[in-house]
Amino acid sequence: QRGLVWLRNDLRMDDNTALYRAAKACNALAVIFIACPQTWRSHGDGDNVVAMRLRTLKALQASLAKKHIPLYFLELRGFAQVSAALEQICRKLNIEALFANAEYPLNEQRRDAAVRETLRSVGVPVEYCTDRTLIPPGSLTTGSGEGFKVYTPFKRAFIARHDNRDQGFEPLPAPRSLGADHGDLWPEWIALEGEHNLVRAIPDTVGDYGVAPGGDSRVLEWAVGEGAAKTLLEEFSAIVADYQEQRDFPAVPGTSRLSPYLNCGALSVRRCVQMALAENDGRWVGSSEGASCWLSELLWREFYQHLVVNFPRVCRNLPFKPETERVPWSRRTEDFERWCEGQTGVPIVDAAMRQLNQTGWMHNRLRMVVASFLTKNLLTDWRKGEHYFMQKLVDADFAANNGGWQWAASTGTDAAPYFRVFNPYSQSKRFDPDGAFIRAFVPELEGYSAKDIHCPPNDLFSDRSYPAPVCDVTESRKHAIEVFANLKS
Ligand code: FAD
């Protein structure tokens, strides 16, 4: 049987369910990746996440070539063109079955349903596999059969079902080598109707995305590919025991930094679970507090992935809680711009935003702090922050990002209650006690003592380039709470 594996955000050979199943079922196998720059733009994907995707794809193509599995590349404008293109490709390559790993946001689900329908009409079955999540979204429900709206009961139900040594999430091996190049089976390129042809060469630019980000971006410092992800996971396994204690301090490398790899798929979530269970007596809640805590974070990821399937409303640019559509968000674009640029005059917020702008990544504690600051203290629509994060993050993922923003803005599931507003100064003192993180990203404040750096005294502003705070944290907090309280009445 001749099979085609359609890769998306699952760019690896190891433990890739679709690739594994295709390799078992077929004796001739090719892989395709379809770039859809117009749809990516409309989804808010920024240069950094696309660069990570394309660089990872190039590394994967080289690994697949060693196994004699060709990787084809196709650029289309958007998802709407995918079905027709795949139909042509299946015909021209005599494909008998298509395999892919399921994706869950609404537009991705619609695209995949259309592909299944179109290929059915030409007799090519399509198999979508569970791979991005541990279990199929929708398969874990409350007693009344609904999707979970709150994380903690979701986690409890998940663990009750799976905390058993015999029910691991065993990773699958990479496909075997196909032994020869099969050059006669797989042409170098194929002409397609429309603007683009199916080719082998992965370009540096798709649509108006450039792979190599310029300027001062340090995104290129992220090593790419499965090997890099595996090394990082191994290194993290040596410190996972300390995760619970270390994970909240942005100046300390206490978290895994695996999110960019999980999101483009260079690493599977099952490999992460396997590592953590091994450190935790095979249990989800075991003797290692660090490993148990890290497994809980992987379940946050799982929870948000399930959420977009159970409550597709969140994919429509809408708040999970309908009443929060009435929040009178501020129209002050200047505040938002200062937040984006890391010029709010609140040191921990600025350091965090500069970390994002310069490296494409931000520590989780700080994501919560800056999201709370934007949506509560500056009363700015969470969708503006969500979009900015998508533009900048190298680990941008719709489900996690939307979930995180709605959580912080108190518009989401399991949301922080509206009256719980992070105080950026207290957060700063608690989680960056000596100001090391602030100093690393806000050089203007280098000379301040550990005591003053969190909230530099007023009189010192005059001779510094660092701005005065964009708002009064206490007053703005009070105002936000009033606004949210009024929604109830
Ligand atoms: P670790 O602490 O090592 O955790 C391991 C993995 O667990 C992470 O790689 C991630 O896959 C998952 N994870 C951890 N915390 C969360 C969480 N709260 N929600 C969902 N998954 C989690 N994560 C993204 O992957 N992409 C995003 O676009 C994204 N946007 C966010 C926006 C906001 C406003 C907030 C508050 C959080 C966001 N997160 C996002 C979640 C979290 O901040 C990152 O996953 C984490 O900081 C990545 O660093 P790490 O790999 O070192 O995490």
CB of 389 within 6 A of ligand 1: the answer is: yes
Q: Is residue 153 located within the same domain as residue 104?
A: no
Q: Is residue 457 located within the same domain as residue 481?
A: yes
In a domain, residue 479? The reply is yes
Tokens of 152: 């903690």
CA-nearest residue for atom 30, ligand 1, is 401
Pocket test residue of 270, 304, 364 for ligand 1, highest count of atoms within 8 A of CB = 364
Ligand 1 centre distance from Cα of residue 250 (Å): 13
- Average pLDDT of span 355-365: 96
| % the chain with pLDDT above 70 | 95
Which value does ipTM take for this structure? 0.99
Confidence of residue 382 (pLDDT cuts 50, 70, 90): very high
- Average pLDDT of span 120-130: 97
| DSSP-assigned states of every residue in 286-330 | -S-HHHHHHHHHHHHHHHHHHHHHH-GGGGGT--SSGGGGG----
- Cα distance between residue 379 and residue 372, in whole Å: 9
Q: Is residue 290 located within the same domain as residue 164?
A: yes
pLDDT tens sequence across 282-295: 999 989 999 999 99
Pocket test residue of 239, 297, 349, 392 for ligand 1, highest count of atoms within 8 A of CB = 297
Q: What is the pLDDT, as a whole number, of residue 468?
A: 93
Residue 380 pLDDT exceeds 80? yes
Q: What is the pLDDT, as a whole number, of residue 488?
A: 78
From residue 439, give the alpha-carbon distance in Å to each of 149, 344, 450, 455.
Answer: 39, 16, 10, 13
In a domain, residue 220? The reply is no
Mean pLDDT for the chain overall: 93
Q: What CATH number does residue 268 fall under? A: 1.25.40.80
Within 64-104, strands assigned E span 71-75, 97-101
pLDDT tens sequence across 409-440: 999 987 778 888 999 999 999 999 999 999 99
Ligand 1 atom with the shortest distance to the CA of 401: 30
The residue type of 172 is L
Three-class secondary structure of residue 141 per DSSP: strand
Q: Is 302 annotated as a binding residue?
A: yes
CA-nearest residue for atom 11, ligand 1, is 259
Q: Is residue 298 located within the same domain as residue 363?
A: no
Q: What is the pLDDT, as a whole number, of residue 43?
A: 97
Q: What CATH number does residue 33 fall under? A: 3.40.50.620
Q: Domain tally for the chain?
A: 3
Residues with catalytic roles = 297, 300, 329, 364, 382, 405
Decide which of 282, 310, 338 is a domain's last residue: 310
Residue 191 pLDDT exceeds 50? yes
- Average pLDDT of span 387-410: 97
C-alpha closest to that of 325 among 387, 416, 406: 406
Q: What is the pLDDT, as a whole number, of residue 178?
A: 75
Q: What is the pLDDT, as a whole number, of residue 205?
A: 86
Task: Please state the separation of Cα 455 from the chain's center in Å.
Answer: 32
In a domain, residue 155? The reply is yes
Ligand 1 atom with the shortest distance to the CA of 370: 34
CB of 382 within 6 A of ligand 1: the answer is: no
Alpha-carbon Rg of the chain, whole angstroms? 24
**Please, where are the H alpha helices in 133-201?**
151-162
CB of 309 within 6 A of ligand 1: the answer is: no
Ligand 1 centre distance from Cα of residue 185 (Å): 42
Q: 302 Cβ partners below 8 Å, 6+ apart?
A: 133, 134, 135, 158, 269
Q: Is residue 476 located within the same domain as residue 350?
A: yes
Q: Is residue 293 located within the same domain as residue 333?
A: no
Confidence of residue 331 (pLDDT cuts 50, 70, 90): very high
Q: Which range is least confidently modeled, 153-167, 288-302, 332-346?
A: 153-167
- Average pLDDT of span 201-222: 71
**Please, where are the H alpha helices in 217-288?**
226-237, 243-246, 259-264, 269-278
Q: Is residue 138 located within the same domain as residue 125?
A: no
In a domain, residue 362? The reply is yes
Q: What is the pLDDT, as a whole number, of residue 215?
A: 41
CB of 397 within 6 A of ligand 1: the answer is: yes
Which residue range forms the structural domain that includes residue 269? 133-173+225-310
Q: Is residue 141 located within the same domain as residue 122?
A: no
Q: Is residue 441 located within the same domain as residue 392?
A: yes
pLDDT tens sequence across 77-123: 999 999 999 999 999 999 999 999 999 999 999 999 999 999 999 99
In a domain, residue 258? The reply is yes
Q: Is residue 139 located within the same domain as residue 122?
A: no
Output the furthest CA–CA distance in the chain (Å, rounded): 76
Burial call 228-261: b when 16+ CB within 10 Å, e when fewer: bbbebbeebbeebbebbeebbbbbbebbbebbbb
Q: What is the pLDDT, as a whole number, of residue 360?
A: 93
Q: What is the pLDDT, as a whole number, of residue 58?
A: 95
CB of 336 within 6 A of ligand 1: the answer is: no
- Average pLDDT of span 125-146: 96
Residue 19 pLDDT exceeds 80? yes
CB of 354 within 6 A of ligand 1: the answer is: no
Q: What is the pLDDT, as a whole number, of residue 220?
A: 65
Q: What CATH number does residue 473 fall under? A: 1.10.579.10
Q: Is 304 annotated as a binding residue?
A: yes
Ligand 1 centre distance from Cα of residue 304 (Å): 11
Q: Which range is least confidently modeled, 78-92, 213-227, 298-312?
A: 213-227
| % the chain with pLDDT above 90 | 87
Q: Is 299 annotated as a binding residue?
A: yes
Q: What is the pLDDT, as a whole number, of residue 163?
A: 86
C-alpha closest to that of 178 among 9, 60, 22, 58: 22
Q: Is 223 annotated as a binding residue?
A: no
Decide which of 131, 153, 181 is a domain's last residue: 131
Q: Helices then strands (H, E): number in the chain?
A: 19, 7
Q: Is 397 annotated as a binding residue?
A: yes
Q: What is the pLDDT, as a whole number, of residue 461?
A: 54
C-alpha closest to that of 273 among 307, 308, 301, 306: 301
In a domain, residue 455? The reply is yes
Q: Is residue 336 located within the same domain as residue 410?
A: yes
Residue 182 pLDDT exceeds 50? yes
pLDDT tens sequence across 35-68: 999 999 999 999 999 999 999 999 999 999 999 9
Q: What is the pLDDT, as a whole number, of residue 418?
A: 86
CB of 308 within 6 A of ligand 1: the answer is: no
Pocket test residue of 233, 395, 431 for ligand 1, highest count of atoms within 8 A of CB = 395
In a domain, residue 153? The reply is yes
- Cα distance between residue 446 and residue 347, in whole Å: 11
CA-nearest residue for atom 37, ligand 1, is 404
For residue 198, report the phi and psi dihedrals to the nearest 5 degrees. Answer: -80, 125
Q: What is the pLDDT, as a whole number, of residue 165?
A: 62
Query: Hunting for tokens 């968000």 — which residue is that?
Result: 329
Decide which of 310, 330, 347 is a domain's last residue: 310
Ligand 1 centre distance from Cα of residue 411 (Å): 19
In a domain, residue 423? The reply is yes
CB of 400 within 6 A of ligand 1: the answer is: yes
User: 205-206 and 209-210 as β-strands: parallel, antiparallel, unpaired?
Assistant: antiparallel
Residue 209 pLDDT exceeds 80? yes
Q: Is residue 340 located within the same domain as residue 330?
A: yes
Residue 214 pLDDT exceeds 50? no
